[in-house]
Amino acid sequence: MAQPTKIVLSEADAPTHWYNINADLPTFGIDLPSVRHPMTKENITPDDLGALFPPALIEQEMSTEREIEIPERVQEVYRLWRPTPLYRARAWEKALDTPAKIYYKYEGVSPTGSHKPNTAVPQAYYNAEAGTKRITTETGAGQWGSALSFACQMFDVACDVYMVRVSYEQKPYRRILMETWDATVTPSPSDTTDAGRRVLERTPETTGSLGIAISEAVERAASEDTTRYALGSVLNHVLLHQTVIGQETIKQLELFGADYPDVVVGCTGGGSNFGGFAFPFLGDNPHEQPRSRFVAVEPKATPTLTRGRYTYDYGDTAGLTPLVKMHTLGHDFVPPPIHSGGLRYHGMSPQISALVEAGIIEARSAGQLAIFKSNQQFARAEGILPAPEAGHAVWGAEQEALAAKEAGEPRTIVFNLCGHGNFDLSAYDDYMNGRLEDYEMDDREMDAALEAVPAVE
């Protein structure tokens, strides 16, 4: 009997609850530091967050309940693409000549081509329930902006997106996709906000950053009564919504008859897809003798986990957002114009940061030339073209497969292919024609970026 290429769960097997790792962090010996007010630096309260988020999302952000029920209306929209398939990468295994078994969860089947709608849909739903008329947000490569634009259409909420200028110019098709769903897309920094105007006065030729775009979106939300802000990564409620990915993967591996993963791999920018993929496995692992290693891969151009400082910092450039303890490159950091726009962020999820500090998650980094090489080889074997961001997980899985080959061990590797690269063909054109270059922060850049990090006791 032929072995299956993929496992697709039925709609009846889709998760009905999100998994909240905050409930289990104490079992890892982690006491997550409090979130602080951006001005007073005191512990933040739910009322402090009310100008940005609806009550249900604030409750989820602060929750320590292990499971949170997914509303039926959200499940209904999820069913447009969920559950997503899990593939066995047999052709890639053969190309790599590895004894490892490689599985990949494919989130590129969503309406927007990435994992981002998993949180965009509930965020739009809870905002609509609370009477929000407009949601503002930021986006880098455009996966998050297009996901929120789609979700807002589902719940009749207007959507304004501040898109990092370099991505606005590099990725016009993502902008067109957002505008197809009736979003307003503005290149950031812009002259529509005080935060944007201040940046343009200092550096008129700036390529922008996610931190700047967040400042613009937050400023808009805080100044308009029926407008709220939505974030595509970093915060607990965002990673919480993404845990449908890992929950489905655990079930699918069982149906494959696969061994429990030796290695779980994902890419990291702010942490949403890695957390959503890895956290259910972490919750499923015995903490004294874990069955799996967890590997987070980031760009060398934005080495938040591998070289950043673990300290309190703002999530945005202007210092409008709450202070969280995380790995950071400094909120003033402006990244180089690499094509992995969704990973060009200065900070990281507090939960992922704490787990890296505790030695439970391993962090690695790679240059974009290595990423595109791995992506091309994967596409030639498996037929799916990964997004540049997702390529970091492809590269990480490849490194683990080659290590298994060197050791002569039949390891089981699972990774999250969090989005397709069909809108990133200009980046592949640059790679194949030798126009792509690597970037890596030097120590002087690192020191300068960290100078503005606030002192918090």
Residue 91, burial from CB neighbour count under 10 angstroms (0-12, 13-18, 19+): middle
Predicted pLDDT of residue 398:
98
Predicted pLDDT of residue 263:
98
Q: Is residue 1 part of a domain?
A: no
Q: Domain check: are 185 and 262 in the same one?
A: no
Q: Is residue 457 part of a domain?
A: no
Q: Domain check: are 140 and 282 in the same one?
A: no
Q: Domain check: are 205 and 289 in the same one?
A: no
- CATH number of the domain to which 175 belongs: 3.40.50.1100
Count of domains observed in the chain: 2
Q: Domain check: are 246 and 172 in the same one?
A: no
Domain hosting 440: range is 6-14+71-113+237-450
Whether residue 159 contacts residue 175, with contact meaning beta carbons closer than 8 Å, is answered with no
Q: Is residue 300 part of a domain?
A: yes
Q: Which of 275, 272, 274, 280 is nearest to 252 (CA)?
A: 280
Domain final residue pick, 233, 248, 274: 233
Residue 73: what residue type?
Answer: R
Q: Is residue 325 part of a domain?
A: yes
Q: DSSP assignment, residue 432?
A: H
Distance of alpha carbon 262 from the chain centroid: 23
Residue 20: what residue type?
Answer: N
Domain final residue pick, 180, 210, 233: 233
Mean pLDDT by 10 residues, the chain (457 residues): 88 97 94 92 91 94 96 98 98 98 98 97 98 95 93 97 91 93 96 94 90 91 92 94 98 95 96 96 78 95 93 87 93 72 80 96 96 97 96 98 97 97 92 90 81 83
Distance (Å, rounded) from C-alpha 364 to C-alpha 86?
24
Domain final residue pick, 195, 216, 233: 233
Q: Is residue 250 part of a domain?
A: yes
Q: Which of 382, 377, 360 is nearest to 428 (CA)?
A: 377
Q: Domain check: are 202 and 79 in the same one?
A: no
Distance (Å, rounded) from C-alpha 133 to C-alpha 228?
8
Distance of alpha carbon 344 from the chain centroid: 11
Q: Domain check: are 204 and 266 in the same one?
A: no
**DSSP, residue by residue, 228-285:** EE--SSSSHHHHHHTTHHHHHHHHHHHHHTPPPPSEEEEE-SSSHHHHHHHHHHHHHS
Q: Domain check: are 403 and 293 in the same one?
A: yes
Residue pointed to by tokens 């494919």 = 106
Tens digits of per-residue pLDDT, 90-137?
Answer: 999 999 999 999 999 999 999 999 999 999 999 999 999 999 999 999
Residue 285, burial from CB neighbour count under 10 angstroms (0-12, 13-18, 19+): buried
Distance (Å, rounded) from C-alpha 419 to C-alpha 388?
9
Q: Which residues of 134-156 are buried (b: 16+ CB within 10 A; e: fewer)?
A: bbbbbbbbbbbbbbbbbbbbbbe
Q: Domain check: are 244 and 388 in the same one?
A: yes
Q: Domain check: are 58 and 89 in the same one?
A: no
Q: Is residue 266 part of a domain?
A: yes
* C-beta contacts of 170-173 below 8 A and 24+ residues apart: 170/337, 170/339, 170/341, 170/426, 170/427, 171/141, 171/142, 171/341, 171/423, 171/424, 171/426, 173/423
Q: Is residue 456 part of a domain?
A: no
Whether residue 166 contacts residue 337, with contact meaning beta carbons closer than 8 Å, is answered with yes
Whether residue 20 contacts residue 70, with contact meaning beta carbons closer than 8 Å, is answered with no
Whether residue 104 contacts residue 395, with contact meaning beta carbons closer than 8 Å, is answered with no
Predicted pLDDT of residue 316:
83
Q: Domain check: are 391 and 438 in the same one?
A: yes
Q: DSSP assignment, residue 26?
A: G
Q: Domain check: are 51 and 77 in the same one?
A: no
Q: Domain check: are 256 and 133 in the same one?
A: no
